Structures are given as structure tokens and as C-alpha cells.
Structure 1
Amino acid sequence: MYQQMIFVNLAVNDLGASKKFFTELGFTLNEQFSDDSTSSVVISDTIVLMIMNRERFGQFTKKPIADSSQMVETLLALSAESREQVDELVDKAIAAGGAPAGETQEQGDFMYGRAFFDPDGHHFEVVWMDPSVIES
């Protein structure tokens, strides 16, 4: 059965540093879709993060490329299986050179989230939601 995928494309200032950052979070690189200007970061079977140096990214758009250290370009949210997995991923991101992005978010016993900025300032949210609430 066909499984729809999402490919998120981000401009980065230092491709090598970004590759190191995302592999330290536990994600893998797909070298088949990587070169000296682009790297394919596999987040899951259906989510791939394409990180590109600014020149390569600029080949896909006629608009100016946002400076993600100064303005919000996009807000990316990843789900987690548990509260502990939220904490683990965000703590890894901070230890790998990212920065905290806001306060911990809790809504009762059914939702928990934390956020981080990657080294280029892209904003990532990591959220756990009680499966029984999602399914109802």
C-alpha cells in the first residue's frame, strides 16, 4: 500500500555541522540522496529532512531565503511515543549544540511537549499526546 511521505527542506549555513547535529539526535543519513550541498536526514519511514546549503536551497525558490537565526521560517513538530522520549530528544538536541525554545508545555495528563532550536535557529517542537485522546 502506498505510504505518503513528507520531505521538509531547510536551508543551513554549515552542512557538515547540521549533519553532525541531526545524527547526534539519533537520525540517520541517506547517502543515496546526499551530496556536497545536500543531505537527506531520515527521521522516520515517512518523514525526511532535506538539509541544503543556502546556495542549493536557493535553486528551488525565487523568494529570499529567511535567516532562521533572526526570524521564524517554519515551525516543525515531531511526535514522540512518551513524555520520556520528548525529554530524551530535546535533551540530546541541546547537548548537540541546539538551544531550548520556550517553556515545557503540558495540558493535563494528555499532552506534553518541549521545543528546541537547531544550530541554524530552526524551531522544532517535540510532543507526546495520550493515544486514547487522539483516537477518540
Structure 2
Amino acid sequence: MVKQVWLNLPVKNIEKSKAFFTEIGFSFNEKHDSASHTCMLVGENNFVIMLFEETQFASCIQNKITDTTVSSEMLISIDAQSREEVDEFANIVQEAGGNVFAKPAENEGWMYGCGFADLDGHRWNVLYMDLSKLPK
């Protein structure tokens, strides 16, 4: 039976990626670090995202790595507790060297969010959902 799920992402440079994600507020379980991978923890429940150096990642998937300059395989979504937190996160990402490709904005009258790409072009969504405004 499944007990846990985690996400694996390819990165060009482990140390640069680790510095970026640390700057935007994520933490790491360094006891699982090696030269070719690191264990990132996201959110209150410490969702695990493993960052793998591209060569090792490619050997695991036995397939080509998506070219994030022209396509995306997924959108990784994280929650925010307020509109202000979305705005603050967008600023932090930009200051850390990420690309905010979708500026903070309201969507469908009850969601407020932004989209950013990390140093390797993986796309993320930061979203505040005001459930009191959710259409019935």
C-alpha cells in the first residue's frame, strides 16, 4: 500500500537550485544529500521533492528530460494563506532569480495567484483560494 508520495525534478546545478529554493523559503533534509541529489521539504507536512542532477535523473527515467524552455510536463501548485502572501512570494521569487511568468492576479473571482519558473524552468503556481467566494 502507498504510504508516501514525493516528486523528483531534474536540475542543472544542485547547489544553485538549493540556494534558490532556500531563498524562497523551502528547507532541506541534508542527511539525504549527495553530489547528484538533494531532498527538499515543502509545506507544513514536509512534502518531499528530490532534486536530481540531470544525468542521474535521465538514467532513472530512461527517457528524455522535458525541455522547459519550450514545454512543461506539469505545474506544481503550492498554497498561500492570503493575497498578500502571494504578492510577497512573487517578489521573493523574483529577487532570488526566478521568473514570475504570471504576475499576481485574481482568477474566477475566488482565487488569487501567480506563476513562476525556477532556475531550471519548472513551473510553479502559488494560489490563495477564498472559499467564501466560491460559486455555488
TM-score, normalised to structure 1's length? 0.86
Contact in 1 for aligned 2:111/2:129 (Cα 8 Å): yes
Distance 2:42 2:17 in 1: 14
Distance 1:70 1:56 in 2: 22
Other structure's SS at 2:65 match: coil
Structure 1 equivalent of residue 52 of structure 2:
52
Aligned pairs (5 A) from 1:25-104: 25-44=24-43, 45-104=45-104
The amino acid that maps onto 2:34 is D
Shift of 1:71: 2.0
Shift of 1:47: 1.4
Other structure's SS at 1:60 match: helix
Shift of 1:59: 2.6
Deviations 1:83-109 (A, max 9, x none): 111112221111101011124331365
Shift of 1:39: 0.9
The amino acid that maps onto 1:8 is L
Gaps of 5+ in 2: none
Structure 2 equivalent of residue 20 of structure 1:
19
Matched positions, count:
132
Choose 84-93 or 112-121, whichever is displaced more. Answer: 84-93
Identity of aligned pairs, percent? 33
The amino acid that maps onto 2:81 is E
Shift of 1:50: 1.0
Gaps of 5+ in 1: none
Contact in 1 for aligned 2:20/2:97 (Cα 8 Å): yes
Shift of 1:5: 4.3
Distance 2:69 2:53 in 1: 15
Deviations 1:47-75 (A, max 9, x none): 12111100111232121111223321321
Contact in 2 for aligned 1:5/1:46 (Cα 8 Å): no
Structure 1 residue runs of 4 or more that deviate by more than 6 Å after TM superposition: none
Q: Over aligned residue pairs, what C-alpha RMSD do you find?
A: 1.9
Deviations 1:22-58 (A, max 9, x none): 0001111101222111111111224121111001112
Contact in 2 for aligned 1:5/1:47 (Cα 8 Å): no
Contact in 2 for aligned 1:110/1:129 (Cα 8 Å): yes
Choose 56-65 or 120-129, whichever is displaced more. Answer: 56-65
TM-score, normalised to structure 2's length? 0.86
